[in-house]
Amino acid sequence: MTNPFTIDPAAVLWSAPEAERAGRPLLVLLHGYGADERDLFSLAPHLPSEPVIAALRAPLSTPWPGQGYSWYPIEGLNGRDPGALTAAAEAVLAWADEHARDAASIAFLGFSQGGAMSLQALRLAPERIAFAVNLSGYAAGGELPGDATLKAQRPPVFWARGALDEVIPMRAIEHTASWLPEHSELSGRIYPGLDHAISHEVLLDLRNFLALRYAAQ
């Protein structure tokens, strides 16, 4: 049986040709629910030039009549199941093992579902991931083996969300607000007047966060 959580390498958008990727940092973009690899890739011209950027397509199609893709189901009794989120994050890490062996470092940047994915990947492989960016997302519940390492190492994490965002359940936001300070060097900000979106102000803060991270590498 085919694993439903498999990344399609043919759908990945790269900011640089293969010959120009080795030895450079890699920033992996993980889109939100109902979008695809083109969504966050549109941010690439506004981000620092140091990393190679790879935008992945989530492995699941959204249920009819929805469009786009999702990393894990959000519908039904098992919606937002941490186990499905973990399986999807493992698939992303397996893709990185195969296609990003020569990267100087790896970091993840995600929006909404993709933000949850970036943190889950960090939790699964804290020794391999330099930092994570969570835009309008959350941290999944439960315990993972890498959580103890995160508490000790406290890798950098940028978490941004709009004050008017009603897409992510409040219980998930409250959990994230208590979990992240214990497991990361957190740069967090809530943006007044912003809903479930990326504003110009968010983009400026994101660029500054990334510039500091790559200057330190």
Determine which helix (DSSP H) or strand (DSSP E) holds 173, and give its type and residue range. helix 170-183
Structure confidence at residue 1 as a pLDDT band (50, 70, 90): very low
28 within some domain: yes
pLDDT in tens, 70-121: 999 887 545 578 899 999 999 999 999 999 999 999 999 999 999 999 999 9
3 within some domain: no
Whole-number pLDDT of residue 216: 86
End-to-end CA distance of the chain: 41
Percentage of the chain lying above the pLDDT 90 cut:
88
173 within some domain: yes
Percentage of the chain lying above the pLDDT 70 cut:
97
Q: Is 1 in a helix, a strand, or coil?
A: coil
Q: Is the pLDDT of residue 153 over 70?
A: yes
Gap between the Cα atoms of 125 and 148, Å rounded: 12
Q: Is 121 in a helix, a strand, or coil?
A: helix
CATH of the domain at 130: 3.40.50.1820
Residue with tokens 């469009």: 67
Q: Is 102 in a helix, a strand, or coil?
A: coil
Phi and psi, residue 75, nearest 5°: -95, 160
Q: Which domain holds residue 172?
A: 9-216
Whole-number pLDDT of residue 109: 98
Gap between the Cα atoms of 78 and 206, Å rounded: 32
1 within some domain: no
Amino acid at position 4, single letter = P
pTM recorded for the entire structure: 0.95
For 73-86, letters b (16+ CB in 10 Å) and e give bbeeeeebbbebbb
Dihedral of the alpha carbons of 168, 174, 176, 181, in degrees to the nearest 10: 150
Gap between the Cα atoms of 188 and 184, Å rounded: 11
Number of domains in the chain: 1
Whole-number pLDDT of residue 78: 56
Q: Which residue has the higher pLDDT, 124 or 66?
A: 124
* Beta partners for residue 157, in sequence order: 132, 186
Average pLDDT, the chain: 94
141 within some domain: yes
4 within some domain: no
88 within some domain: yes
Q: Is the pLDDT of residue 182 over 70?
A: yes
Contacting residues for 17 by C-beta, under 8 A, at least 6 apart: none
Gap between the Cα atoms of 14 and 26, Å rounded: 10
